[in-house]
Amino acid sequence: MSKLLVVDDETKIREIIKKYAEFEGHEVTEASGGLEAINICRDKDFDIIILDIMMPDLDGFSVCREIRKKSSTPVIMLSARGEEYDKIHGFEVGVDDYVVKPFSPKELMLRVAAIIKRATKTESDIVKIGDLCIDFTGRMVTIAGKSIDLTPKEYDLLFYLVKNRGIALTREKLISNVWGYDFFGDDRTLDTHIKLLRKNLREYSSYIVTLRGVGYRFEAADK
C-alpha cells in the first residue's frame, strides 16, 4: 500500500482523487492548503504527493520547494492554467510530473502508478527495449546483437536518460549530471550530443523525446 498526500483547496478535487486512489489500494491523507501540507510532511512520510499550484495561503511551487529541502518524495503538480511557464518552473523546483485540470482521475492514477514503480524498483544492470540492449555495467549498447560505437559522453548521456526513463529532464539537470557543475559550455553542446545519439540509435531514436522549452525525456518501456 502506497501513502499519498493530496493537497488542493478544492474539496471536490480532493474527494475525487481520494476515491480513485483508495480504489487502487492507496492510503490517502488530505491537506486543504500549502502550509498544512508542509506541516504534515514534517511528521509523516509519503510515497507520492499530488499538489495543486493555485492555493490561497501558499502556492504549489513554494510548497514543493520547501518539501525538496528535506525530502525527495515524488510530486505530481496540478494546474488549471497549463501554461508552459508553469511546467518549466515546476520541473525546476523538483516536480516529477504535471497534470492540467480538468483531468481524468484514471489517467492520474496511471501516472501515480508509473512514478511509484520507478521510485521503488531496483535498477537492472541491463535494460532491453525491443532489439536495443543497454548494459550499464559492461558499458555496452547493442541493436540486434550488433555493438553501437558511442563516444564516452554519448554513453553517459544515454545511460542517464535511460535510468531516468519516463521522467522529464530539464536541460540544466542533464548538463549538470552528465557534464558536471563546472561545465562552461552551453545548450548547443547538449543538443548536438542528442542529435548524434539519435543518429546512432537509428530506429530507436524516437524514444528520445524533445520537451519544448524544458529538455528531454526517454520514453520507452522495458521488454
- Residues 73-122 have pLDDT tens digits of 889 988 876 666 666 777 777 788 888 888 899 989 988 988 877 665 44
What is d(CA 220, CA 208) in angstroms, rounded to the nearest whole number? 9
Cα atoms in the 13 Å half-sphere on the side-chain side of 64:
27
Domain check: are 94 and 149 in the same one?
A: no
Last residue of a domain, one of 86, 120, 154: 120
Q: What is the pLDDT of residue 223?
A: 45
Last residue of a domain, one of 105, 120, 135: 120
Domain check: are 141 and 99 in the same one?
A: no
Domain check: are 144 and 52 in the same one?
A: no
Domain check: are 82 and 24 in the same one?
A: yes
Give the range of the structural domain holding residue 203, as residue numbers without chain letter.
126-218
> Which has more confidence, 96 or 22?
22
Is there a domain that residue 223 lies in? no
Considering its fold, how many domains does the chain have in total? 2
Q: What is the pLDDT of residue 71?
A: 81
- Residues 142-162 have pLDDT tens digits of 999 899 988 888 999 999 999
What's the pTM?
Answer: 0.55
Domain check: are 8 and 111 in the same one?
A: yes
Last residue of a domain, one of 120, 153, 171: 120
What is d(CA 13, CA 34) in angstroms, rounded to the nearest whole number? 15
Closest CA to 141 of 204, 186, 99: 204
Report residue 46 CA to chain centroid gap.
Answer: 17
Closest CA to 78 of 38, 113, 34: 34
Domain check: are 38 and 132 in the same one?
A: no
Is there a domain that residue 145 lies in? yes
Domain check: are 7 and 115 in the same one?
A: yes
- Tell whether the model's pLDDT for residue 69 goes beyond 90: no
What is d(CA 99, CA 13) in angstroms, rounded to the nearest whole number? 13
Is there a domain that residue 157 lies in? yes
Is there a domain that residue 55 lies in? yes
Domain check: are 133 and 108 in the same one?
A: no
SS3 47: coil
Is there a domain that residue 85 lies in? yes
Is there a domain that residue 193 lies in? yes
| Residues 20-29, mean pLDDT to the nearest whole number | 94
Domain check: are 64 and 154 in the same one?
A: no
- Domain CATH for 46: 3.40.50.2300
Domain check: are 108 and 131 in the same one?
A: no
Most confidently modeled of 57-71, 108-122, 175-189?
57-71
Domain check: are 116 and 130 in the same one?
A: no
